[in-house]
Amino acid sequence: MVSLAQTSARERAAFEPGVEIAVEEVSHSFDLEGAPLPVLDGVSFAAARGEFVALLGPSGCGKSTLLRLVAGLEPPTSGVITENGRRISGPDPSRVVVFQDPTLFPWRNVRDNVALGLEAQGLLKTRRSRIDETLRLVGLENFTKAYPHQLSGGMAQRVALARALVNDPDLLILDEPLGKLDSLTRLSMQGEIVNLWRRAGFTALLVTHDVEEALLMATRVIVFSERPASIKADIAIDKPYPRHRDDPDLIARRREILGLLGLHDSW
Amino acid sequence: MSLLTFDAPRADKADVRYRLPSRATLARVALAVAAGGAWLAFAGLTAYWPDQGDWGHGSELAAAAGILGGALALAGVLGGLWPRGAARLRRSTPWLLALGLFFTLWQAATAKFAWLPQPFFPPPHALLEVFVDDWAKLWTSVVASTQLELLGFAAGAGAGFIIGVLLGCFSAFGYWVHPVMRLIGPLPSIAWLPIAFFAFPSSWSASIFLIGLTTAFPVAVLTWSGVASVNSAYYDVARTLGASRAFLVFKVAIPAALPHVFVGLFMGLGASFAVLVVAEMMGVKAGLGFYLQWSQGWAAYANMYAALLVMSLMCSGLVTLLFRVRDRLLSYQKADVQW
């Protein structure tokens, strides 16, 4: 029975990418020299299959910690996180993270960095062609032999994106992936990521502290409070893509969200 | 570019021919001629001033130095005929001049005027005599020393690397090994020498152990620190991509630690040379250390200098080899130190 259920779940996943993620009453604290430092306080939300959810909040509020918990890198202190109804107990290549720093392995060239996931899962032989496909997708097909120190910040982050996408994830976890890029590269990559998401249909969770970025990319924006983070607002953005930053609706939303973050007077 | 380059070369070569050489060109020619002169002076001194002792092969050395000096002076004047060769030679001319002067001074201070006490400071042709007459023995010594060094170093580097990786990856291993390493590691391996020579079946195997011990300590410590200082984000990335524990060790920790490992290997190699020489002087009946000791017993001072020279070439060669291996394995890095 169990194996049958798993097979059907996997088959369904093969035809229909994306997963449902449910975060239920999750609290988390760090042990700081004996004293617990609470970072998440009773956070609950659910992301539907194929949704693009942006988690927005002041810097240091615990958004990134929440992503680490969803990725399975750490267990939450209390509460449950589920993927398609199954509890997340450890990392899994179906949930891939793109971190703020590209963290490419400096001893591997671009191609071998992208191959990392397939190699770790023993899929290198059967799915080798995916590597070149993915490199083409992020526009790096001419840099396969380059080493990380030879790449610009934007190119390195594209490699990190390819390293995630080559695994055909059901959930792409984006932890401020554009935070350290220059503003022009940032703008073009926002569009690229949205296009990749629309094409592949995975569920996406994006942590950002850039209100505009959240409004341009996500189907839903969840606004967090200061640490310990709790949810202040959950706003659906049902606008078609591509979106424009001077859309009056988005500007109104931007004012609203900045107000929630305590920046009423910001221009 | 050549010793006789005339200012900036123009498209019209015929025109250039008749320009006067620039000051820089003249300086280069003068340097090459001076270098040639220094070697000719060395040759003349060696050949025509009487020796104050009995050393062989003086005339051969004088002939060789004379040919080199003449060739250098000629190359300085005619360098323009073969620009590429002249450009290559130009880098070495300051060194060739210095060496020519050094040899002349050395020859004068020893064989010719005995300013340095004899027989402790033999002249250049005495060393040449050793190389010509005793090369077979020197060669077998080099082979013996290299073999001993490489075997000991390989054993020590392998053991140190494995210990370092285990220390970095498994805390249970560290609980037992760390205190032992803290106690034994800093002890100079030479201190083990008396015990090693009777505890091991032969002085040769004892030396392998001592060289290995010397190498293993820095390699273990630096491998350990390399593994311990791996950016934890690398592990996060690999874990989210489905990496197993073995993958984290072999494909993340070890490659990331490799630059540190090589620092340890360099330290271990340097320290192991000292142990090699002492072990050969004290017990092993072969190798350059033994040759050195044996020469001293016979008051064969020229042989000692010759052995010293060969030994430094051997050690330098081994260090170069390690650098080559490092440059190949860490080719992804921007080159830092060139050996």
Render B300-326 in DSSP notation, one character per residue.
-HHHHHHHHHHHHHHHHHHHHHHHHHH
| Domain spanning B135-329: CATH superfamily | MetI-like (1.10.3720.10)
- On the question of pLDDT at B126 being above 70, the answer is yes
Q: What are the backbone dihedrals phi and psi of residue B18, each rounded to the nearest 5 degrees, phi first? A: -95, 5
Closest CA–CA distance from residue A175 to any residue of chain B (Å): 12
Interface test with chain A among B241, B245, B251, B252, by most A beta carbons within 10 Å: B241
Q: Sign of the C-alpha dihedral, residues A237, A243, A244, A248?
A: negative
Q: Mutation test of the interface with chain B: which of A116, A166, A180, choosing the one with the most B Cβ atoms within 10 A?
A: A116
| Shortest CA gap B330–chain A (Å) | 7
What local confidence, expressed as pLDDT, does residue A266 receive?
63
Out of 1.10.760.10, 1.10.357.10, 3.90.650.10, 3.40.50.300, the CATH code matching A16-103+170-260 is: 3.40.50.300
Minimal Cα–Cα distance from A147 to chain B, Å? 6
Question: DSSP state, B115?
Answer: -
Nearest to A213 by CA among A169, A181, A172, A171: A181
Q: Which residues of chain A have pLDDT under 50?
A: 1-10, 12-13
CB atoms within 10 A of CB A36: 11
Cβ of B240 within 8 Å of Cβ of A119? The answer is no
Whether A92 contacts chain B with CB within 8 A: yes
Peptide bond just before A228 cis, omega within 30 deg: yes
pLDDT digits (tens, 9 = 90+) for B141-158: 999 999 999 999 999 999
Answer whether A156 touches B (CB < 8 Å): no
Query: Which of A106, A120, A147 is facing B238, going by the closest CB pair?
Result: A120
Closest CA to A151 of A200, A162, A95: A162
Asked if residues A18 and A83 have their Cβ atoms less than 8 Å apart, the reply is no
Give SS3 for B163. Answer: helix
Start-to-end Cα distance in chain B: 27
Q: What is the pTM of this model?
A: 0.82
Whole-number pLDDT of residue B335? 58
Whether the upstream peptide bond of residue A242 has omega within 30° of 0, thus cis, is yes
Q: Is A112 on the interface with B (CB under 8 A)?
A: no
The edge-to-edge listing of strands for the beta sheet with A203-208 is: A95-98, A171-175, A203-208, A52-56, A220-224, A231-236
Q: Residue ranges per domain, chain A?
A: 16-103+170-260
Q: Do A106 and B234 touch (CB under 8 A)?
A: no
Average pLDDT over residues B194-211: 91
Residue A20 and residue B166: Cα distance in Å, rounded? 40
Beta bridge partners of A224: A231
CA distance B339 to A181: 37
Q: For residue A148, give the chain B residue with the closest CA.
A: B332
State how far the Cα of B281 lies from the Cα of B283, in Å rounded to an integer. Answer: 6
CB contact (8 A) between residue A91 and residue B330: no
Neighbours of A238 (CB within 10 A): 7
CA distance to partner chain B, nearest, from residue A237 (Å): 29
Chain A nearest-CA distance from B236, in A, is 7
pLDDT value at position B233? 92
Nearest 5°: CA angle at A6, between A5 and A12?
90
Q: Is the ipTM of this complex over 0.90?
A: no
Residue B151 pLDDT: 96
Q: Would you kindly state where each structural domain of chain B is located, as residue ranges?
A: 13-122, 135-329
- List, in sequence order, the alpha helices (H) in chain B: 13-17, 23-48, 58-78, 83-107, 124-133, 135-169, 171-184, 193-199, 203-228, 232-240, 245-247, 254-282, 288-297, 301-329
Q: Do A117 and B242 touch (CB under 8 A)?
A: yes
Alpha-carbon distance of B211 to A114, in angstroms, equals 42
Which residues of B fall below an 8 Å CB-CB distance to A?
231, 233-234, 236-244, 247, 251-252, 255-256, 258, 330, 332-334
- Residue A148's Cα: distance from chain center in Å? 22
Contact residues on chain A for B332, CB-CB shorter than 8 A: 106-109, 147-149
pLDDT for the residue numbered A179: 83
User: Nearest C-alpha of chain A: how many angstroms from B202?
Assistant: 43
Q: Which of B231, B233, B241 sits opposite A120 (nearest CB)?
A: B241
Which chain B residues are closer than 8 Å to A93 by Cβ? 240-242
Of B239, B247, B251, the CB nearest to A91: B239
- The residue-averaged pLDDT of B290-316 equals 92
User: What is the predicted pLDDT for the residue at B12?
Assistant: 52
Cβ within 8 Å, pair A163-B238 = no
Task: Please check whether residue A258 touches B, CB under 8 A.
Answer: no
DSSP secondary structure letters along chain A = -HHHHHHHHHHHHHHS----EEEEEEEEEEEETTEEEEEEEEEEEEE-TT-EEEEE--TTSSHHHHHHHHHTSS--SEEEEEETTEEP-S--TTEEEE-SS----TTS-HHHHHTHHHHHTT-TTTTTHHHHHHHHHTT-TT-TT--GGGS-HHHHHHHHHHHHHTT--SEEEEESTTTTS-HHHHHHHHHHHHHHHHHH--EEEEEES-HHHHHHH-SEEEEE-SSSB-EEEEEE---PSSP-TT-HHHHHHHHHHHHHTT-TT--
Question: At residue A89, what are phi and psi to the nearest 5 degrees?
Answer: -120, -5
What pLDDT does residue A226 have?
80
**Residue-wise burial string across B292-301, b where 16 or more C-beta atoms lie within 10 A, e elsewhere:** bbbbeeeebb
DSSP class of B229: T
Residue B7 region by backbone torsions, left for phi larger than 0, else alpha for psi between -120 and 50, else beta: left
A65 CB within 8 Å of a chain B CB:
no
Give the chain B residue nearest A160 (alpha carbons).
B237
pLDDT at A4: 46
Residue B250 structure tokens: 């072999």
| Residue B79 or residue B112, greater confidence | B112
Residue B266: closest CA among B225, B201, B336, B318: B318
pLDDT of residue B6: 46
Nearest to B234 among A71, A96, A103 (CB): A103
Query: Tens digit of pLDDT for each residue in B5-57?
Result: 445 445 555 555 556 778 888 888 889 999 999 999 999 999 998 888 888 88
Task: For residue B334, give the nearest of A72, A116, A149 by CB distance.
Answer: A149
Q: Are B238 and B302 in contact (CB under 8 A)?
A: no
Mutate to test the interface with B, among A65, A96, A105, A168 (most CBs of B within 10 A): A105
Residue A244's CB is within 10 A of a number of other CB atoms, namely 9
